[in-house]
Amino acid sequence: MLVEDWVDSSIRAFFCVTGITGNFWLGLRSLPKSKSQMRPNDLLFINLAVSNLITNCLVDLPDTLAQFVNNWFMGRNYCGVLQFSSDLSETSSIFSTMFISMYWHQKLVGSVRRGGAPVQMDNLRLVTVFLAGSWSVALMFSVPHFFIAEHNGNESLEVCEERFPTLADKRTYDALYLLLANVAPLVGITYASVQIVLVLMQSQKRVMDHSNHNSGTQATATKSKAVSHSQTRAAKSVVAVASIFIICWFSHLVLRIYSSFRNSILAVKLTNFIGASYTCFVPYVYLHGVKKLDCSCCW
């Protein structure tokens, strides 16, 4: 194996191991002690972790092992599973990120502007319906891969290809997928993130004004400040993830559009690296934001 191939394989292995560890950790730390203690935020984090683990275990891991042994050993029939798992995980992960952004935007609005009043996405059943809908959309776009994914007939690592009946079918599918499963959630994530930043700025100003006018009630102010700090920390992690998402998936969209008009191995590799980097680092940002980046659950 050439040096550049070893570097490529090592980076893939790093993303794979880090992603599996981080997403498993996020899912484990989001599990409540009992079913009655399940909160919408916990369910959203678990759903994101499961979505990312599908890519980590069913796509990244086989591909990484194939890189090291310089041979595709999973068999031709696995091509359909590979393409199906990739799109299913990607779509579900995107929608999960959007729902998390929406949830924390509503939580901040409810806390800052409405005095902590309950918000719509505090309803566990509603969040479950949203997630079920996102999985339905993901399945709708992923199932066709079982029928169009084919092995290219040799032992190279670029083994799985998609063969649409016609070029028009491919472009129609790509256009619908990009619009419904990428652009629409991207707009939602961007809007929610901007609103979160605005609410945080307003909240900081109100806290400063409140502390100046009520310096005598230190105990109450301290308690209020602690609650505000916890929500602010989590909200900042959501904005950080949203920023990573926007950068990664905007680049992902450009490369996907480019590859739909012109076959390019480099574009495919860059697309895979971008997707892997997102699923790799995002769980750690969320864990840091909700103060669960530790192993306290293991003791």
pLDDT at position 219 is 44
Q: Give the domain ranges of the chain.
A: 3-211+225-298
Residue 52, pLDDT above cutoff 90: yes
Mean pLDDT (the chain) is 80
Band of residue 140 on the pLDDT scale cut at 50, 70, 90? very high
The residue whose two tokens read 């980046």 is 293
Do the Cβ atoms of 95 and 219 come closer than 8 Å?
no
Residue 113, pLDDT above cutoff 70: no
Higher pLDDT, 13 or 270: 13
pLDDT at position 82 is 83
Q: Can you say whether the dihedral through the CA atoms of 171, 175, 181, 186 is positive or negative?
A: positive
pLDDT at position 226 is 38
Amino acid (1-letter code) at residue 151: H
The arithmetic mean of pLDDT across residues 60-65, rounded, is 84
Q: Give the global pTM.
A: 0.84
Q: Which of 63-72, 183-192, 212-221 has the lowest mean pLDDT?
A: 212-221
Do the Cβ atoms of 69 and 13 come closer than 8 Å?
no
pLDDT at position 224 is 44
Residue 57, pLDDT above cutoff 80: yes
pLDDT at position 299 is 45
Higher pLDDT, 169 or 127: 127
What are the backbone angles phi and psi of residue 147, rounded to the nearest 5°? Answer: -100, -15
Residue 100, pLDDT above cutoff 60: yes
The arithmetic mean of pLDDT across residues 102-130, rounded, is 82
Percentage with pLDDT > 90 across the chain: 27
Residue 225, pLDDT above cutoff 70: no
**Topology at the third CATH level for domain 3-211+225-298:** Rhopdopsin 7-helix transmembrane proteins (1.20.1070)
Band of residue 75 on the pLDDT scale cut at 50, 70, 90? low
Residue 1, pLDDT above cutoff 50: yes
Residue 236, pLDDT above cutoff 80: yes
The arithmetic mean of pLDDT across residues 134-149, rounded, is 86
What are the backbone angles phi and psi of residue 154, rounded to the nearest 5°? Answer: -130, -175
The arithmetic mean of pLDDT across residues 31-43, rounded, is 89
